Structure 1
Amino acid sequence: MTTDVNSLDTVRLAAYLESVIAGFQGPLTAEKFTGGQSNPTFLLKARSGEYVLRRQPSGSLLKGAHAVDREYRVLDALRDTGVPVAHAYHLCEAPEVIGSMFYVMSFVQGRIFWDPALPELPSEQRAPLYSEMIRVLATLHDVDVNAVGLGDYGRPGNYFERQVGMWTKQYRAAETETIAAMETLIVWLQANLPAADDQLSLVHGDYRLDNLIFHPAEARVLAVLDWELSTLGHPLADLAYFCMCLRLPSVGHISGLANKNREQLGIPTEAELVAQYCALRGIGTIANWPFYLAFSFFRLAAILQGVLKRSVDGNASSDKAAQVGKMAGHLAQLAVALFENDR
C-alpha cells in the first residue's frame, strides 16, 4: 500500500479493479496528471483500455473537503441527463487499497483549454466555444434533481447564507495570516445576503474553462470535470463563478480576461453571456449581480487559502500549491473593489 499522492501500488490496484469493474484487465500503469491542487488524478493504462482515477490526498484533511465520493455520485446520476460527463465505473471507500478513498471513471479524449483568451484558436471559433459553455451550464441547472436521485444532495435553507458561513469556517481553519480584505469581505457578504428564493438546482461549484473537455474538432463539450464542490444550491452561484473567472488577470496560475480586448479576440462580453444564460433558462434580469460576483471571489479565495495551508502542512498535491495559495489576498481585494466602487 502506498500513501504517496504521486504514486500508486499498481499491482495491488490492478488486482482490486479486476474484481470490481466488469471487463477490467491488468496489468496497469499510472501517471499523475499535472495541474490541479485538490484531488490527485491519474491516467490508468491497462490491457482493457484507459481510465482515470481520482483519490483523496493523504494526510489530515479539512472536514468536508476532497469529497471524491460526492463526485462519483454526481457522475453516476448525470449519465443520462444530457449533461456531458465521464462514465463512473467504481467508488472505493476502503482506504487500505491505495491509502485513501478513490473512484475510477472513463478517460475522455479531447481538448482542454487553459487560457480563456483561447490563443490556439482563430477568432471566429472562440464565441461558439463560449456559447457552448453557457449552454451546458444552463442544461445542468435544468436537471430535475429529484428525478436523478439527487434530491437530498444539499441542505435546505438560504443557500448563500449557508455557503458564506461554511466557507468562512473553512477559511478560518486554513488561515495562516490575517488578510484585511478577507475580513472586510466576510462582513460585507454577511450584511448583504440576498433573500431566499425558489431557485434550486445542482450546481457544479467550479465551472470554468479548464474543467471542460471539448470535442477534438467541434465546439462541443464532451465532459464536465471536477465535481468535488457540487451541491444543491442557487444556480446563479455557478454563473457568477464562471464570469468571475473571466474577470481575473490574464497572468498567474488561474488566468482570466481582465485586461484583454474581448471584441478583438472575438469573445462575448459578460453581459452577452449572462443574457444568453437567462434566455436559455427563461429568467429575467438578475438583481444584485455584484453580490454573486463578490461571493465567487470570496469562495475561491477561501479554497486557495486551503491550498496554501496544505502546502504549509506538506500535504499539497502540486509543487505550485504555495504560489497558488498566496493568490487568496488578491482575490479578496478584487471582490472588495466590486462593492466599494459601487458606492
Structure 2
Amino acid sequence: MAGPIRHPIPLDSLTAYLRKNVPEINLPLTIQQFGYGQSNPTYLLTSSGTGAKYVLRKKPPGKLLSKTAHQVEREYKVLKALSEAAQDLPIPKVYCLCEDADVVGSAFYIMEFLDGRIFEDPALPGVTVEERTAMWKSAVATLASLHKIRPEEYAALKSFGKPSGFYGRQIQTLSAIEAAQAVTKDVATGIEVGKIPRFNEAMKFFSATQPRDRSTVIHGDYKIDNLVFHKTEPRVIGILDWELSTIGHPLSDVSNLLSPYQLALEAGASVMSGETKDFIPGATPGLPSRQQAIEWYGQASGWNILPSEMYWGDAFGFCRNSVITQGITARVARRQASSAKAGTYAERTPKLVALAWKYASNYYHIYDL
C-alpha cells in the first residue's frame, strides 16, 4: 500500500535528526508514501541495510485550517501513555516525536511498522466465513478493552481530556471547524467550500438531546480500516490513527465502528470509505449482525447500549463525518490533501447530513417527540 511520494520529505535532514536522536532506527533509509491517510501524510521507512521498517506520520505542509486537527503530537503522546497503561492493548511502539518543523517541514513522529493486513472494506474480502466472524468479534473486543481503561488511574492519561461533557465539547468544536472550513476558498478558482446543509440546526438538536454522560479513553476514529489484523490469524494486532483520541463518551467509538451497517442500507453506501459492495448485512457470509456486534461489545465492556442511545450516536456520528468530508474538501481546495482519493469526498458531505437527520428522526420516534 506504499508507493510514490506526493508530499516530499528531505531525507538528508531526517537522517541527520535520527542519527543524533534515535540510534535504534537503522540507517540509511528509503521512503515511500502510503496511499491511505486523509489527515496526515504517512510514510513507510525501510532500512537499506537490514530491511527493518518504520512508519512516519507528519502534519500536512503549509498553514493549517484547524488547531484541533492533524495533532500528530497528541497521537504520539496517546500511544506512549497507552503503552505504559495497557500493555495488552494492541498498539504500535513509538520511537520519537519531533516538533521542530525545520527537520521535515512540519512536526512528525515515528512508530513501529506492523506487518499485517489492513482492510479498507469492512466486509473483509478474501477471508473465510469463519475468519470474517472472528475478525469482527476481535475488532469489537479490542474496542471494549480500550474502553475499560480507567484514565483516572494513570497520570499520563489524565491530561488527554475532561472527565465529563464530551458531546457538549464536540458540538462546540465541530461548529467552529465547520464554519472555518466553509469559507475556505479554492486556490485556483476562488470558490468557497460552502456550509454543510442544515448543520447549525443539527447542532441545536444534539445540544438538546444528549445521552447520559459516560467517560473513558476513546480512539476517536475507531473503524475496520484503522485496524491491523494478523497476517494469518483472525485477530487485531494494532490500532492506528490516534490523533482524535481523548477522554470521551464510548458511544462515539461504537457508532463509528458500526456505521457501515447503516451505510449499507442506504443508496449512497460508500459515503465514507472505499467500495463496500460486498458488505451486505444478513447476506455476507460470516458477517455478524449489527445487534450481535452490539451484544459482543456489551458482554466485553459491561455496558449494554440502549436502542435510543444507538440512534442518537448514529445521527451524531454521521453529522461529525460530514465535517470530516467537508474538511477533506477544504484541504483539496488548499492543495493540502494527503490521500490520493481525497478529491472524491465533496459529494459525500450532504449525503451524510441526510443520514444524520434520518437517524435523528428515529430518535424522535422512540420518545414520541
Corresponding residue for 1:270?
A: 290
The AA in structure 1 aligned to 2:24 is G
Name the residue aligned to 1:171. Answer: 178
> Partners in 2 of 1:227 and 1:314 — Cα distance?
24
CA distance in 2, matches of 1:204, 1:243: 14
Give the direction of change, closer, same or farther, for the CA distance of 1:240–1:322 in structure 2 (3 Å limit).
same
Aligned pairs for 1:83-98 (under 5 A) are: 83-98=89-104
1:283 equivalent to 2:303? Answer: yes
1:154 equivalent in alignment to 2:174: no
8 Å CA contact retained: 1:57, 1:317: yes
1:129 counterpart (132, 135, 148): 135
Q: Would you say 1:233 and 2:248 are equivalent positions? A: yes
User: Is the 1:200–1:233 contact (alpha carbons within 8 Å) kept by the matching residues of 2?
Assistant: yes
TM-score using structure 2 length: 0.86
Residues in 1 aligned to 2:284 and 2:60: alpha-carbon distance in whole angstroms = 42
Partner SS, residue 141 of structure 2: helix
What does 1:242-257 align with in structure 2 at a 5 Å threshold?
A: 242-249=257-264, 250-251=269-270, 254-255=273-274, 256=276
Using the alignment, how far apart are the partners of 1:244 and 1:261 within structure 2?
A: 12
Give the deviation of 1:29 after TM superposition.
Answer: 1.0
Q: CA deviation at 1:340?
A: 2.5
Report how far residue 145 of structure 1 moved. 1.7
Q: What is the CA–CA distance in structure 1 between the aligned matches of 2:115 and 2:207, rounded to whole Å?
A: 43
Equivalent residue, structure 2, for 1:194:
211
- On the 8 A contact 1:145/1:151 being kept in 2, the answer is yes
Counterpart residue type for residue 100 of structure 2: A
Aligned with 2:324: secondary structure?
Answer: helix
Q: What do you get for the CA RMSD once the two structures are aligned?
A: 2.0
Superposition deviation, residue 337 in structure 1: 0.9
Q: Equivalent residue of 1:96, what SS?
A: helix
Matches of 2:279 and 2:298 in 1, distance apart? Answer: 26
Q: Relative to structure 1, is the Cα distance of residues 257 and 319 closer, same or farther in structure 2, using a 3 angstrom cutoff?
A: closer
Deviations 1:120-170 (A, max 9, x none): 112222110110001100000111323441011113441111111111111
Unaligned runs of 5+ in 1: none
Q: Residue 294 of structure 1 is aligned with which of 315, 322, 331?
A: 315
| Partner deviation per Cα, 1:95-139 (whole Å, 9 max, x = no partner) | 000000000011110011111112211222211011000110000
User: Are the aligned partners of 1:91 and 1:104 in contact in 2 as well (CA < 8 Å)?
Assistant: yes
Is the deviation greater in 315-324 or in 122-131? 315-324
Contact 1:203 1:231 in 2 (8 A): yes
Larger deviation: 104-113 or 239-248? 239-248
1:217-228 equivalence runs, <5 A: 217-228=232-243
Q: Which residue of 1 aligns with 2:202?
A: 185
User: Cα distance, 1:274 vs. partner?
Assistant: 0.8
Q: How many pairs align?
A: 338
Instruction: State the SS of the aligned residue for 1:322.
Output: helix
Runs of 4+ with deviation above 4 angstroms: 255-259
Q: Which moved more, 1:246-255 or 1:274-283?
A: 246-255
- Are the aligned partners of 2:263 and 2:271 in contact in 1 as well (CA < 8 Å)? no
> 1:139 maps to which residue?
145
Aligned to 2:56, which of 49, 53, 58? 53
Distance change (3 Å), C-alpha of 1:252 and 1:233: closer
The secondary structure found in structure 1 opposite 2:151 is: coil
Residue deviations 1:77-107 (CA, integer Å, cap 9, x gap): 1225111011100000000000000000111
Q: Deviations over 1:165-193 (max 9, x none)?
A: 11111111111223324344223212212
* Distance in 1 of aligned mates of 2:133 and 2:333: 40
Deviates more, 1:219-228 or 1:113-122: 113-122
CA distance in 1, matches of 2:100, 2:207: 39
Q: Give 2:231's aligned residue.
A: 216
Gaps of 5+ in 2: 183-192
Letter in 1 for 2:54: Y
Structure 1 distance, partners of 2:216, 2:260, is 21
- Equivalent-residue separation in structure 2 for 1:300 and 1:253 (angstroms): 8
Q: Hey, what's the Cα distance between the residues in 2 that align with 1:65 and 1:186?
A: 20
Report if the CA contact (8 A) 1:184-1:336 is conserved.
no
81-90 or 324-333: bigger deviation:
324-333
Whole-Å separation in 2 of the counterparts to 1:63 and 1:118:
34
Deviation, structure 1 residue 339: 2.3
Contact 1:134 1:277 in 2 (8 A): yes
1:73 alignment counterpart: 77
